[in-house]
Amino acid sequence: SKGMHNQNHAHGPRKKPRVSAPAHLPGREPIQMQRQQLPIYAGKDAVIDVIRQNDVTVLIGETGSGKTTQVPQYLLEAGLAGSGMIAVTQPRRVAATSLASRVATEQQTSVGSVVGYSVRFDEASSSDTKIKYLTDGMIVRELLGDPLLSRYSVVIVDEAHERTLRTDLLIANLKTILQARNGSASAARDPKGKGKGKAKEPSGKPNPLKVVIMSATLEAEKFSKYFGGAKVVYVKGRQHPVTIYHTATSQPDYVDAALRTFFQVHIDQGPGDVLIFLPGQEDIESLEKSIDLYAKQLPKESLGVIILPLYASLQPAQQAKIFASTPPGMRKVILATNIAETSITIPGVKYVIDTGKCKEKRYVAKTTGTGFDTLLTRDITQSSAVQRAGRAGREGKGYCFRLYTEESFKKMPATAEPEIRRCTLTSSLLQLRCLGQNFEELDFMDQPDEGSVASALKTLFLLGALDHTKSLTPLGRQMAAFPLEPPLARALVASAEWGCTAELLTIVSVLSASSKLFVDTHDAREEAADARKKFRHASGDHMTVLNVVKAYEDVSQSEGKKARKDWCRRMFVNERCLAEAANIRAQLRDVCEKTGVDWKASAEGGQDAEARVLRAMVAGLVQNAACLQPDGSYKQLMGPSVVKIHPSSSLADKKVSAIIYDELVYTTQIYARGVSAVPRSFIAEVPVFKRRSV
Ligand code: ADP
Ligand code: MG
């Protein structure tokens, strides 16, 4: 045994905290009463008044106070939507969809009518929609077709403190839009006088815009200043004391430490749900398995354990379970990423276990030399740690177990660096160029560094989206129409040239799905490898994807749903990924239709099918090409790194002259994942190389 009773914590709870049953269980009262019990309800009129009287309002309130769900409804009821819509932006799609469904219920309708949502590859809205929850990425995309966001009367920028790249892009554009739509009032408040908007529209001046910046943390000043001294409103929360414990020593195996701490809590402490913060889906799934295994061995009289994962790509049906109240005799344990930090408030949580880790998107320019970000597991910030602990004290006294030492806490950075300072700007730059804008000219809260802008320019030039004068090319405009990272958009557009769009749509859709195509299994590695061999294509992983999808479609057509499920299990194929990919494919097909790409064009059956597909892939992944070196490793063509083929690849251990890959994975080495072998001549054929005659 792993020593479940091992006292990890320097000041572990010596005696059981006295647990009195909560006066009322949330989720039991009628929904309208629940709304009135939220802290923000007391400030309802004040909030409406301030927003009515100001173009820009900064609203700060503790997580769970009701900002995201209530403020849009207040504004709608107060008539502030006028003839337009209220947009509420979220950095994460699960938050957007789950909040929309909650607010729809509160409005006594179903999602998609008065209350809707829009996230990449999924939308529920109609002409009745007045409140729309969307990801910050989707609203930035809407700018392309509607640069003044004229459909919206109010734009609520939620979770603004996260400072995602898209949120920063939106905020910069909102400043310009305010001047164009509201005229001189906001122009006078533009301290830098940098805004590019026209003060007055000659005819048909659009309706004025209201902007509300919402956040759970107290960084109001910066936002207020940016908007020329915008009004700040604070909503009082209802936070109960939380006792915080640190570990005495650092815990490198944080998943194992979380497991032990959970059972310590579960065995020693009274009722109350447990929320465990982990960096990502893989750790969540692994902890889920171990908790399940150990929970089965507990004595009959102990509380039952309901394990609920919560991460970005979670299906709606599973999301709903998180909010269901815990049945008597049971304890919920929610395994979440930082999505549960501020975006989603789960009722009933009394204990928080914080691994102190999160995944962060970061552009590792020195080694990748490409236009892709990598997700790295890293230590959280103090601000996150405080938010995480706070989740334990929403309904009563709570306990937070930090799986790191007090010294580590003190060494954490206070807040995170904004994404614009650390992520790839390629896709954003392409969007800005479509709007006729540049990074240098827009007034950002934080300006990106010149190096990242230069590297984004380079990538877009290599892909043919910008010409040597940095002007948008017709190809660039076509690429921007696809909700894909520029390299994949480029591959898809290239497929038209090679007559293999049907194949590329399939590959790109699978690559864009949020879950992996193959199930990773530790228990049946050999079986899985055997099954995988059936699909293996000699050229590598991209053609292998086609083989899997084709085999799945054959089973789907000839057999029922259950047979299909069985097949997926036997083949260690992730059906969720295939279902999601089918949906994504349908949407990309629509974009093809609109932009005049023949999506039916297929290379299937032809002798050169493989060559055509790979040529299209090379056009997009040209920056992700590497050549074999004498020692068996691969050296990037356009970057300085030496990479190895990831063990999960169908080409692992193979030696081929040149490869292209989807992404790099950093462990002790740099691995290329999603690899195909390509003749060097294919790479030399890419226009940019032809020009340079490599
Ligand atoms: P804030 O934005 O201030 O953090 P929210 O408006 O998100 O607060 O949350 C207000 C309340 O609504 C919380 O008690 C939360 O648990 C509840 N809530 C939010 N989404 C759902 C949902 N999908 N189902 C049930 N309750 C929900
Ligand atoms: Mg919120």
pLDDT tens-digit series, residues 478-536: 999 999 999 999 999 999 999 999 999 999 999 998 888 998 776 677 888 888 888 99
- At residue 587, the pLDDT reads 93
The strand pair at 115-119 and 122-124 is best described as: antiparallel
Q: Report the alpha-carbon distance of residue 219 to residue 232 in Å, rounded.
A: 11
> Is the shortest distance between the CB of 97 and ligand 1 below 6 Å?
no
- Give the closest ligand to the alpha carbon of residue 387: 1
- At residue 598, the pLDDT reads 94
Closest alpha carbon to 600 in 501, 498, 488, 489: 501
- At residue 204, the pLDDT reads 56
- The answer to whether the CB of 685 falls within 8 A of the CB of 615 is yes
- At residue 690, the pLDDT reads 60
Please return the burial class of 5, using the count of CB atoms within 10 Å of its CB with bins 0-12, 13-18 and 19+.
exposed
Q: Is 438 helix (H, G, I), strand (E, B) or coil?
A: coil
Q: Is 166 helix (H, G, I), strand (E, B) or coil?
A: helix
> Is the shortest distance between the CB of 65 and ligand 1 below 6 Å?
yes
The amino acid at 100: A
Which residues, in sequence order, are bridge partners of residue 304? 330
Q: Report the alpha-carbon distance of residue 503 to residue 612 in Å, rounded.
A: 10
Place of tokens 């039916």: 600
Q: Report the alpha-carbon distance of residue 393 to residue 387 in Å, rounded.
A: 10
Its pTM stands at: 0.87
- At residue 252, the pLDDT reads 93
> Is the shortest distance between the CB of 348 and ligand 1 below 6 Å?
no
Please report which residue ranges of 54-164 form alpha helices under DSSP H.
Answer: 67-77, 93-106, 136-145
> Is the shortest distance between the CB of 64 and ligand 1 below 6 Å?
yes
575 alpha carbon to ligand 2 midpoint, in Å?
32
User: Which residue's CA is the closest to the ligand 1 atom numbered 21?
Assistant: 102
- At residue 531, the pLDDT reads 84
Place of tokens 């590497």: 626
Residue 267: both structure tokens together: 């065995």
> Is the shortest distance between the CB of 99 and ligand 1 below 6 Å?
yes
User: Which residue's CA is the closest to the ligand 1 atom numbered 10?
Assistant: 66
- Give the closest ligand to the alpha carbon of residue 40: 1
> Is the shortest distance between the CB of 68 and ligand 1 below 6 Å?
yes
Average pLDDT, the chain: 88
- Give the closest ligand to the alpha carbon of residue 159: 2
Residue 439: other Cβ atoms inside 10 A: 22
Residue of 40, 41, 69, 310 to test ligand 1 pocket, by largest number of atoms within 8 Å of CB: 69
> Is the shortest distance between the CB of 66 and ligand 1 below 6 Å?
yes
Closest alpha carbon to 501 in 513, 512, 511, 489: 489
φ, ψ at 303 (rounded to 5°): -60, 145
Residue of 47, 62, 102 to test ligand 1 pocket, by largest number of atoms within 8 Å of CB: 102
pLDDT tens-digit series, residues 222-247: 999 999 999 999 998 888 999 999 99
> Is the shortest distance between the CB of 345 and ligand 1 below 6 Å?
yes
> Is the shortest distance between the CB of 69 and ligand 1 below 6 Å?
yes
35 alpha carbon to ligand 1 midpoint, in Å?
9
Q: Which atom of ligand 1 is nearest to the CA of 319?
A: 23
- The answer to whether the CB of 400 falls within 8 A of the CB of 244 is yes
Q: Which atom of ligand 1 is nearest to the CA of 98?
A: 23
> Is the shortest distance between the CB of 418 and ligand 1 below 6 Å?
no
59 alpha carbon to ligand 2 midpoint, in Å?
11
Q: Residue 131: enclosing H or E segment and its boundaries?
A: strand 131-135
Q: Report the alpha-carbon distance of residue 358 to residue 280 in Å, rounded.
A: 7
Q: Would you report the helix, strand and coil content of the chain in percent, each value rounded to 5? A: 45, 20, 40
Please return the burial class of 16, using the count of CB atoms within 10 Å of its CB with bins 0-12, 13-18 and 19+.
exposed
Q: Using 50 as the pLDDT threshold, list the residues of the chain that sit under it.
A: 1-27, 184-203, 692-694
Closest alpha carbon to 350 in 275, 244, 258, 247: 275
Q: Work out the angle between the directed axes of helices 426-434 and 450-462 (0-180°, nearest 10).
A: 80
Q: Which atom of ligand 1 is nearest to the CA of 320?
A: 23
| Separation of CA 229 from chain center | 31
Q: Report the alpha-carbon distance of residue 172 to residue 191 in Å, rounded.
A: 14
| Cα–Cα separations (whole angstroms), residue 590 to 362, 484, 496, 620 | 31, 14, 15, 20
